Structures are given as C-alpha cells and as structure tokens.
Amino acid sequence: MWQKALDRMLQVMLHSGAIIVIMPDGSTHSYGDGTGVPVAVRLHDMATVRHLVLNPELALGEAYMNGTLTIEEDRLQELLGLVVRNLRSAPRVFWQRPLLKLRVALRRFTQRNAATRARRHVAHHYDLSDRLYGLFLDEDRQYSCGYFRTPDDTLAQSQAQKKDHIARKLLIRPGMKVLDVGCGWGGMALTLAQDHGAEVLGITLSREQLAVATQRAARAGLSDQVRFRLCDYRGVDGTFDRIVSVGMFEHVGLPHYNSYFRTVRDRLADDGIALVHTIGWVAPPDATNPWIAKYIFPGGYIPTLSEISRAVETAMLWPADIECWRLHYAYTLRHWFDRFNDNEADVRALYDARFVRMWRFYLAACEQTFRHGRQAVYQLQLSRRVDAVPLTRDYLYRDAPLGQMRRAAE
C-alpha cells in the first residue's frame, strides 16, 4: 500500500529530469521526462516509504541523515536540484494539503521567540563547536550571503565585498556609534571600527560567538572601540547613529516583527540609518520547512517582502532603499558545501557520520532553494527622516574611496 502511495505521489510531483527510485522490495520506478543524467535513489525500509508519503519535506532529510535513503554516487546536490525545480509547479497530492494548511495557520504560534526561547534557539545552532564553523566559513567567519560581482569571485572576495557594500549604504563617518544586532563572530563590527572609525556595540545571544568576537577585538587592539554583549535586541538602551543587522532577522519570528522595527526606530538617531540584511521569500507567505525547523533553525522563518514592509510601515520608518540579491546565496552556499566536504573527516571527528550527513543536506538543500526555488536576500536601508540618505544610488557604485563618497553625500 505505502509503495503504491509513494509511486503515485512521485508521479504527480516529478515531471521533469530523471529520478530512479529503488523500493525496499527491489522494484525500480522511474520519474520525470527522462532528460539529463538519471539520479538513482534507494529506499532501505518500509518505514521510510511511509514517512515520505505522509510528510515528505521532513522525511527526505531525516532518511538521508539516518542512512535509510541513499543516493548513488552520493549525488545529493543533483537530487535536491531536481526536487526543488519540480516542486515549483507540481501540485500537492490531496492527503498532504491539510498538513500544509495547518503549518501555515500555526506559524505565528510556532515562531513565538520571547527572549528566553530565542536564546535557546540560537544556542541550538550557533553554540556548536567553534571548530566546526572554522572548517567551512571564510577566515572572517561571515555566516551570511556574500556579494558576488562575478560568479567566479572567491568566498573571501564576496564577503569583503558584502561588508563594503553595507558600509557604503550606512554612510559611516569616524566616531559614529553603531549597533550591530546579531553580530556573529564580530567580523562586521571589527571592519566598521578598523576601516571606518566607528564605535560599535555588537550584541548576540550565542555564548560561543560572544567569546570569539571578544577575543578577536582584543587581538586587533580594538577593545576600547568595539564592545560585545550577550543581549537580546529588545534589551538594548541608548541611541545609535547607525544600526546594522546581517542574517539575524530570520530568527526574530513573525509575531515579533512590529517589536523588532519599533526597537530599530527607538534606538536610531533622528538622522540615523539602519541596514537590515535578511533572507526573503519571493512568493506568498509559507511555513518554515519542517526539517529545517527541527534540525537546523528552530524558531526560524523566511519572511516575504510584504510581511517586512507592513512592520516597517507600522514603525513609521522610511524604506530608503530596498535591494534584492538573486543567486548570491547560491554561490555562497556552494563554497561552504565544497569546503565542508573537503573537511568532512574533521567534522566527523567532532561529531559523527550522521551529523555530517545532516549538515551536507542542510547546505545542499539551501543552495538548491536559492538556485531554483523562491528564496533571495533582501537588504533594507531604513531611516527616520526622508532626507537621511542621498537622493540616488550613485554613491554606492562610484569607484572613489568610501571617504570621498561620504563627503560627496554631505
């Protein structure tokens, strides 16, 4: 019964490419239109078949993690690329629709990230071994989308270009007070201080990130100019000339958007500028993928531009500039995936083979969603005053050094 149900589901969902599925009883089934090199998948037990029928978005990742689903030559990227491309237009089979509707209906309840819960969610992902992140990120520990001027840029180039692009949007002058919300391992804060003369307060809910960021500031001789605190964004006092938040908004939770942007407004000087960099969903609102929510980012949510905009409007902030980055995160994730694979033995020594498969699936699934799905990156430049930033974007793209562009903007 379950094999027949899975066969029917895959016939509906997989209409392009070529996927071969070997069922637990040894029978072989082909799906798609036969184009491209076939990807062969083997299912090793009936429990996996049943789980795929009932909850495929959760079951696929779990089966790969647990080894009950294996891919010939471990062509994980190719399989997930085919799945994401097909899901863009494939209808859901009738027995899955109620579960999907329920997930969407409950998203405001499942994403309630009060301060205590938010700290627990952050610890789940960011308080893993510091060595793990050093095995696949660039030297500056930028754990967010790079900015690729060409697809051939190196990971380090893309991350340096990302920080420069953000600094240009912030129009920072020496001595300005900057709040870095979700500062990670401190790379953005240290760059704004060292290269642009800013005084930066970075806040995080990760104890591991706090320790590393504080050590980095001390080694760079910037402890008097850059401070890091274990602090929720709702607990910050004072006023700042600039606010920057990169890759943190995805953890805020839909019920807290108004609170988040009110906090940005309340902490921002009257003539200040804020820059919020977040993954965004380029389609009507949806629920968080259940596998991602369970294993990678509990409490996380990818917002639509409309959901962000409503909260920005409620906070009476000006959307001075909104930029959509397409494919940049796909390129970033491929670098991370390749570096992770190159250091797979070291990751296995830190954790185990199941953890390795989990993170390979996470990195590959995210890449393919950015490459073939409806995810992108939004950068929102926000201000309290209508005249806080220049009238045009010219200042972002001139070849002049940033200091000259600041003087031109003034």
Catalytic residues: 366
CA torsion through residues 52, 53, 56, 59, sign: negative
Report how far apart the first and last C-alpha atoms of the chain are (Å, whole number). Answer: 71
Separation of alpha carbons 286 and 303, rounded Å:
9
Residue bearing tokens 């959760």: 58
For residue 18, give the DSSP letter.
Answer: -
Which of 122, 128, 2, 80 is CA-nearest to residue 289? 80
Separation of alpha carbons 175 and 58, rounded Å:
49
Determine how many CB atoms are found less than 10 A away from the CB of residue 52.
Answer: 23
Torsions phi, psi of 140, nearest 5? Answer: -85, 0
Determine how many CB atoms are found less than 10 A away from the CB of residue 352.
Answer: 11
For 94, the token pair is 């009738």
> Cα–Cα distances in Å, from 338 out to 77, 139, 155?
11, 15, 11
Q: What's the farthest any 2 CA atoms get from each other in the chain?
A: 72
Which of 48, 123, 66, 100 is CA-nearest to residue 288? 100
Separation of alpha carbons 341 and 138, rounded Å:
15
* Residues 380/279, Cβ–Cβ less than 8 Å: no
Separation of alpha carbons 125 and 252, rounded Å:
15
Residue bearing tokens 């389609």: 283
Residue bearing tokens 């991602």: 292
Separation of alpha carbons 117 and 308, rounded Å:
22
